[in-house]
Amino acid sequence: MDEQKIWDLIDQMRISIPEEVKKANEPIRSATGSSLKRTKKPHACGPQREEAAAMVSEHELTQAAEERATTIVERAKRDAESLRADADEYVIQVLESLGTDLERALKEVRNGVARVQQETARSG
């Protein structure tokens, strides 16, 4: 798989994440996030708890998407390396075969030149 295609796919995944998810990550990532502090209070009302639960859930989805993207990139890199190794092996085989053919052709050319020189020397 083409590395640029992989990066394009990752970019598309990042773009497709709703803006709310991105905003939700900030309070969760921050230990001093005010939304997170409010949900820890024993007097927090139901909507605040639901909002916090939704933010945690969205954060988990974002993490899962990032982990999936990382897995895809790692697999693509392994596949690319394998393809590269196979291509290198193929190139080596083709070049070795070409070298053998060229050596054989060069030997025939040299033999032909030698024969012509011998015949020229005999007749001259």
- Domain with 70, as residue range(s), is 3-123
Domain count, the chain: 1
Hunting for tokens 């092996």 — which residue is that?
89
**pLDDT per position as a tens digit, 24-40:** 656 555 544 444 445 45
The whole-model pTM stands at 0.43
Residues in the chain: 124
Name the 3-class secondary structure at 17.
Answer: coil
Q: What is the mean pLDDT of residues 89-117?
A: 95
Residue 4 — very low, low, confident or very high, per pLDDT cuts 50/70/90?
Answer: confident
Q: Can you tell me whether residue 30 is helix, strand or coil?
A: coil
| pLDDT for res 45 | 67
Please measure the distance between the N-terminal and C-terminal CA atoms of the chain and give it in whole angstroms: 67
For residue 107, what pLDDT band results from cuts at 50, 70 and 90? very high
- Residue 113: pLDDT band with limits 50, 70, 90: very high
